[in-house]
Structure 1
Amino acid sequence: MTKNKLSVLVFALAAAGVCNAEEAGGQTEATNNGPTVLETIVVTATRDEQTLRMLPASATVVDTQSLDITSHTHIQEALVRVPGANFARGNGQEYLPSLRSAILTGAGGCGSVLTAVDGVPLRASGFCNINELFDGHTEVAERIEVIRGPGSALWGANAMNGVINVISPRVTDEPEYRLGVEGGPHDYMRMKFSASRRMGDHGLRADLSMGHDGGYRHDSGFDQQKLTLRHEYDGEQVSVASTLSMTNLNQETAGYIVGDEIYRDRRERNENPNPEAYRDTQSVRWASHIKYRLDDSSFLSFTPYARYTDMDFLQHFLPGTPLEENGQKSFGLQSAYHKRFDNWQIVTGLDLEYTDAFLKQAQDAPTAGSPFLMATIPEGKHYDYEVDAIVAAPFIHTSWQMTERLSMTAGLRYEVVRYDYDNRMLDGRTDEDGVPCGFGGCRYSRPADRFDRFESWSPKFGLVYDLADDHQVYLNLAQGFRAPQATELYRLQNAQDKAHLESEEVLSAEIGARGQYDRLSYEIALYAMKKRHEIFQDSSRLNVDDGEIRSRGIEVGLGYRFNEQWDMALAASYAEHEYSNHRFSGSTDIYENDVDGAPHDFGSARVGWNFLPGARAELEWVHQGEYYTDPENEHSYDGHNIFNLYSFWRLNPAWKLNVRVTNLLDRKYAERADYTSFGGDRYFPGEPRALYVGVERKW
């Protein structure tokens, strides 16, 4: 694999241009007279509205226009516009996350990127799901804010590589109603409805989306429904924004297809070797954001919240295809005191959370395959446990305007997580009735009841220096962490009866520059990261925490507006992720090997054309570089280049037409490539060319 492709992506794509102005929260345009990208408003970093110029961090906003024109059917289509984000699309609504990292897999892979809606994480700490963004109502979002690198002291656990925060639409000042319908191939249909009305100090809003997709592969597809209700109250001293969200997903899942470059075969790419697989999941979330103004320079904020999730998931990738049932009920409180002084400000508070979760795994038929698999994976229940968890985290975050041009930010968070685990089956690695398995014992091992406690500190320090009114540089030093997930601690295998795990930690150093010159907006970030105590499953299927990964890279976002009609944009990344300690994959020491699933270069570029008043078209190029598919670096995927065409046309104030063509050149490619010693090369094939047409009525 070529080790240096920076010129391929950054310089070759830079001729094409991206990311900025149009993705700056709807706040900026790269024009001579418009505000600069530094005035972009974000709330994710400090839980309050703040301009980007105050942040010593990398932040990107996928704004309303970007979400509107892509009208994404999958969250990956929106996040491809973010430098450093390389989400791998799975079947249906599934995905594998990647933010300043390799494509993350495994039980704890979801714990490296924190996903939230309006500042409240989608899942409880310690109980993430790698696909959890499908519970966010991104189809109707006002914008999506992405912080790259360890989150601030206000976020804590799981924000090791960054934060993805979905911002819900607010109640409009004038009454507004929208109804949109769209259709596409494979019986794809989606309806979206929004209603918004303000009555004095109160406002009400409802957003509903309902989608059906028959799937481009055999026995695949999904039905999904999402509803978000919002109430706003804005008084003289108190403002309250409350949301209630409900989601339901019924998905027929298609698994990997197996064979060297089999994704290139037009017939085989449509096959589904796991027609029995499915995922059914429901969620309910409530949160109330309360802001109490003490005076002109200070306020208190409180966000009580509650969540409920329930999921049935057939694990088609495991021998015996066992059924997993999991769910959680959680509630919590985010609280903070905000105070502004003449040249500095402070945010300090306490976050609390309680979770009641369960997990069950069972298979209803004997395992097929080799005598070893048949003997070691019994029919019946494998796991049945409950976990109660308590999280407490005090924090402090300060900003100081040291001089007219230099500002400093510092923060510290202390977080303690306590698990109370209750095994509801027999302890050990027998079958559910206590009968030992052959070949030394059953694969699945159930630890005895226990308590676990994890404590972590998360410091952060940053400097921002204004070179000029529209140009600045920054330095960001941070440490992120995550406690072991419950599944890593209690869902054990083979002879392991207790997992001795520590919290994963990431040390990060970043320098960056951003600003605007005439019609050009730009952001550049260089970073180095070291992950310690990485939790992974070794070749004996034991959960261990002695992994280390070293990462370094550069991210570039550019935006250039030629005139009122034409503009270009770029979101480019070059990164190297390496195993930095001696450990073995099989019999191979993988020290200094590239992490599998980690392309050096990836990104997207777009050219936009405002061809009529109220009408726009964008041609998008999505680039995925070559990457290794195994830790030994013996197998790889060549990468791909895909082109998409997006457009909308506002015919008049009431009607809008949206047309998009994905995979415009009908390339045969893989959304995700992998290699296993027992199965060989395997792929999630990319969708063929598809045409989607939608129409929206507003009144």
Structure 2
Amino acid sequence: MTSFTLPLPFARHGLAIMVASLFVMPALAQQTDSTSDSMSSPRPRPPQKSTVTSYHATLESLTVTGTRENASVRLPLKARETPQSVSVTTRKQMDDESLTSVDAVMRHMTGVMTSLHDTQRPLYYTRGFVIKDFQVDGMPSYSGETNQEYDTALYERVDLVRGANGILTGVGTPSATVNLIRKRPTREFGGTVDISAGRWDYYRTVADVNVPITTDGSVRSRFVLAPQKKHSFYKRYEENKLAFLGVVEADLGPATEVSVGYQRQKNAPKAPVWGAIPRFNTDGTLANLPVSTSFSPSWTRWERSSGTAFASISHQINDDWTFKANLDHTTGKTHSLITYGYGATPSDAPFIDKATGSGVTLYAYPREARETRNSLDAYLAGKLHLGGREHDLTVGVSSTRTISKSDAFASTSSWRHDIANVHTWDGSAPKPAVSKTGARNDTLVQQTGLYASARWRLTEPLSLLTGARVTRWTSKQKNYDTSGALSGVSARQEVKHKVSPYLGVVYDITPSLAAYASHTRIFNPQNYRDVNNVPLKPAVGSNSEVGLKMALAHELDLNLAIFETKQDNFAVVNADAAPNSLPDGSTPYRTVDGTKGKGFDVELIGKVQPDWNLKVALTRAKVTRQESDRLWANFPTWQLQLGSDYRFSGELRPLQLGGFLTWQSKLEAYNVPSPSGRVYVTEKSKPLLDLYASWDFTEAYRLTLAVTNALDKKYWANLDYANYGQPRFFSATFRMTF
């Protein structure tokens, strides 16, 4: 098998100096200014009504000193009492580091590898598997049709639980669950206004206002509005985003709280990049196209929007028991007319002629779809008193019903545009005429589950956590002809009474040291068919984990996890079958067993000193797979994350400096098309450095500067889909607090 290594320069000395300064600077500052006066810190926001108590940290995770509802078993657990690896990104971290999207947040999460297919389809992996389980306030939010990059302006924090999460999600992969917690109203009037500007004509405004409706705050509201525009390093690409959140919350007496609200996100980018760029020339050498390369004319679009109306109620029945219910109604739509750069036919990969620059032909694809999703989750949580000990129990039911409607368009196969020279092409291409045929496909997916979880305090230091979910999942597709009449029902799938168990144990060795072990399972239906046009059975995933969680001095925590994540019956493209050979035009798949990620996470995080926060995280995840299968292989075996921030004292008290370094080992990709056939491709290890600084002029005014990819590294964001990562980007944000 031919092997290629992609060149990637490594600025060793510059990197070493920058990283060293982040760690040495706080210590030097403590020595030189230990007795100087301190300036008042910025006025804090009104406190949230939350049971979470955390260190005032600005790094990826936080240490929880209080209890909160756990994102994997819905029990009142501290971080040290949870037998899984948990990471949390707080609102303060997002503000300090200018993390305006969940994509930016995920890049700083321990053990998470970020990638992308193209501009509108980010990818996240952990422990060898893709992360698709996204929730908002514990309710499902991911959609293949209308999913978009979440704007963090709407959220108070982002939780991530690594491993399988079958109890609360029902279906999914054994990678991780991401739960976005919305901002909630507070009892006092206040708010912030952020105005940002940056490279590539980046402009963003965030207005976040809390308004009590009654004088005592028993009825209160909060509104967030965040418009954003930005060009890109890609030629012709332009983002146009809008995010909105409105929430009203009320106390119906001392024991009952209700909340209703609506959130909306819209993105209407121009010239979005779809698919990959050529990696090779026709002679087999690397094409090395500029990072700005795009095969999208200015008339291409990929518009997506979604809106969610939500309501919740929480009632304290007595001192021991609470009832909670959440209801979401989400609608979304997508409209796109995009182009992909192929070779002579849509089945051929493009390769560049070094002499002429030819070799890429554009093909156009229109799409329009709408989606409606209704979700309900209700549960009873409380305490049991048995055997002289207090135990925790949660019992609940959840249901989600999703209808996706996709319109059929007249074929655009006759439209093609040959790019004469990719090096000089200015994006000009005639716009194809597209029209709907009147036919459509409606896909209905419904999932209902009963779940229960419990923590049994067997002895003073030993707790046993048990849980299970019983899930029924169905899917079918209704096909309508050009007259709008029902022409048939296809793609029927049903999974009955599938049980997803949860088992964990936590042992308190000392008051500050706990050992744990857990095993969780999950299943994932697959919308693929084999060569005989028979639907594939669900993939089955599991996560086994043992670890230690230790609280050190100075509010510093040390976490260690050793894990094995596995998925069987996983669908991969059948390389022995002809592409697009099934009756509906799709490509046959087959299943493989034993796809496995094994490794460990080590994380040191928290406060070294009152104004100095530190994070050091090392992850090893070795993914085993069949080399001949076309599985995603963009998994580094090693990942190292170093983060530090420091607030000065005395006259420099208004100044805060910080940085975050991510290093990962080489990437590998198999079966990459080349002129000589499919080859194995690697990319060398790479460091990515982010820097940020802020200055508080007064309690009400702050300026934040942020730089991502500060070393301006040129790298592949994805080896299977050849697209570059974002070059150096910088922004400035001015905040007014009132």
Fold match by TM threshold 0.5: yes
Summarize the alignment of residues 364-403 of structure 1 with structure 2, pairs less than 5 Å apart: 364-367=411-414, 384-403=440-459
Q: What's the counterpart of residue 259 of structure 1?
A: 279
Pair 1:273-2:295 in alignment = yes
- The whole-number CA distance in structure 2 between the counterparts of 1:62 and 1:249 is 24
Pair 1:206-2:204 in alignment = no
Summarize the alignment of residues 540-689 of structure 1 with structure 2, pairs less than 5 Å apart: 540=577, 541-559=587-605, 561-579=607-625, 584-585=628-629, 596-611=633-648, 612-630=652-670, 634-674=680-720, 683-689=722-728
Pair 1:219-2:239 in alignment = no
Against the structure 1 CA distance between its residues 299 and 567, is the aligned structure 2 distance closer, same or farther, given a 3 Å change threshold? closer
SS where residue 95 of structure 2 aligns?
A: helix
TM-score (norm 1): 0.81
Contact 1:14 1:570 in 2 (8 A): no
Contact 1:26 1:63 in 2 (8 A): no
Q: What's the counterpart of residue 261 of structure 2?
A: 243
Summarize the alignment of residues 321-340 of structure 1 with structure 2, pairs less than 5 Å apart: 321-340=364-383
Against the structure 1 CA distance between its residues 379 and 654, is the aligned structure 2 distance closer, same or farther, given a 3 Å change threshold? closer
- The whole-number CA distance in structure 2 between the counterparts of 1:152 and 1:51 is 20
TM-score (norm 2): 0.77
Deviates more, 1:183-192 or 1:86-95: 86-95
Aligned pair partner of 2:99 in 49, 62, 72: 72
SS where residue 139 of structure 1 aligns?
A: helix
Q: What's the counterpart of residue 451 of structure 1?
A: 492
The total of aligned residue pairs comes to 620
Against the structure 1 CA distance between its residues 525 and 315, is the aligned structure 2 distance closer, same or farther, given a 3 Å change threshold? farther
Q: What is the CA-CA distance between 1:512 and the residue it aligns to?
A: 1.2
- The whole-number CA distance in structure 1 between the counterparts of 2:472 and 2:501 is 15
- The whole-number CA distance in structure 1 between the counterparts of 2:285 and 2:512 is 47
Contact 2:53 2:65 in 1 (8 A): no
Contact 2:146 2:334 in 1 (8 A): no
- The whole-number CA distance in structure 1 between the counterparts of 2:147 and 2:76 is 26
- Aligned AA (1:120): M
- The whole-number CA distance in structure 2 between the counterparts of 1:130 and 1:648 is 38
Contact 2:210 2:223 in 1 (8 A): yes
Query: Which deviations, in whole Å up to 9, do the C-alpha atoms of 1:325-376 show, x marking residues without a partner?
Result: 2221121211111121232111112112222222235365334689xxxxxx
Aligned pair partner of 1:44 in 71, 90, 103: 71
Deviates more, 1:58-67 or 1:629-638: 629-638
- Aligned AA (1:295): N
SS where residue 635 of structure 1 aligns?
A: strand
Q: What's the counterpart of residue 415 of structure 1?
A: 471
Against the structure 1 CA distance between its residues 542 and 383, is the aligned structure 2 distance closer, same or farther, given a 3 Å change threshold? farther
Summarize the alignment of residues 523-542 of structure 1 with structure 2, pairs less than 5 Å apart: 523-539=559-575, 540=577, 541-542=587-588
Against the structure 1 CA distance between its residues 414 and 687, is the aligned structure 2 distance closer, same or farther, given a 3 Å change threshold? same
Deviates more, 1:176-185 or 1:687-696: 687-696
Q: What is the CA-CA distance between 1:82 and the residue it aligns to?
A: 1.6
Q: What's the counterpart of residue 354 of structure 1?
A: 401
- Aligned AA (1:618): G
- The whole-number CA distance in structure 2 between the counterparts of 1:604 and 1:293 is 42
Q: What is the CA-CA distance between 1:79 and the residue it aligns to?
A: 1.4
- The whole-number CA distance in structure 2 between the counterparts of 1:534 and 1:220 is 35
Q: What is the CA-CA distance between 1:310 and the residue it aligns to?
A: 0.6
Q: What is the CA-CA distance between 1:667 and the residue it aligns to?
A: 1.8
Query: Which deviations, in whole Å up to 9, do the C-alpha atoms of 1:63-95 show, x marking residues without a partner?
Result: 122111122244232112222211214654531
- Aligned AA (1:458): S
Contact 1:323 1:363 in 2 (8 A): no
Considering only aligned residues, what root-mean-square deviation do their CA atoms show, in Å? 3.4
SS where residue 188 of structure 2 aligns?
A: coil
Q: What is the CA-CA distance between 1:302 and the residue it aligns to?
A: 1.1
Against the structure 1 CA distance between its residues 459 and 46, is the aligned structure 2 distance closer, same or farther, given a 3 Å change threshold? closer
- The whole-number CA distance in structure 1 between the counterparts of 2:301 and 2:186 is 39
Q: What's the counterpart of residue 144 of structure 2?
A: 129
- The whole-number CA distance in structure 2 between the counterparts of 1:576 and 1:379 is 48
Q: What's the counterpart of residue 549 of structure 2?
A: 514
Q: What is the CA-CA distance between 1:119 and the residue it aligns to?
A: 0.9
Contact 2:146 2:371 in 1 (8 A): no
Unaligned runs of 5+ residues in structure 1 are 3-11, 18-23, 105-111, 371-377, 427-431, 433-445, 675-681
Q: What is the CA-CA distance between 1:139 and the residue it aligns to?
A: 2.8
Aligned pair partner of 1:500 in 521, 535, 538: 535
Against the structure 1 CA distance between its residues 652 and 93, is the aligned structure 2 distance closer, same or farther, given a 3 Å change threshold? farther
Query: Which deviations, in whole Å up to 9, do the C-alpha atoms of 1:647-682 show, x marking residues without a partner?
Result: 2222212111110112212222222222xxxxxxx6
- The whole-number CA distance in structure 2 between the counterparts of 1:263 and 1:249 is 38
Q: What's the counterpart of residue 100 of structure 1?
A: 127
Q: What is the CA-CA distance between 1:407 and the residue it aligns to?
A: 0.5
Unaligned runs of 5+ residues in structure 2 are 5-15, 24-50, 347-362, 418-433, 578-586, 672-677
Against the structure 1 CA distance between its residues 41 and 194, is the aligned structure 2 distance closer, same or farther, given a 3 Å change threshold? same
Contact 2:260 2:310 in 1 (8 A): yes
Contact 2:400 2:448 in 1 (8 A): yes
- The whole-number CA distance in structure 1 between the counterparts of 2:184 and 2:109 is 23
Larger radius of gyration: 2
Aligned pair partner of 1:153 in 160, 167, 176: 167
- The whole-number CA distance in structure 1 between the counterparts of 2:328 and 2:598 is 37
- The whole-number CA distance in structure 2 between the counterparts of 1:653 and 1:84 is 36
- The whole-number CA distance in structure 2 between the counterparts of 1:101 and 1:79 is 15
Against the structure 1 CA distance between its residues 335 and 100, is the aligned structure 2 distance closer, same or farther, given a 3 Å change threshold? same
Percent identity reads 17
- Aligned AA (1:289): S
Q: What is the CA-CA distance between 1:410 and the residue it aligns to?
A: 0.5
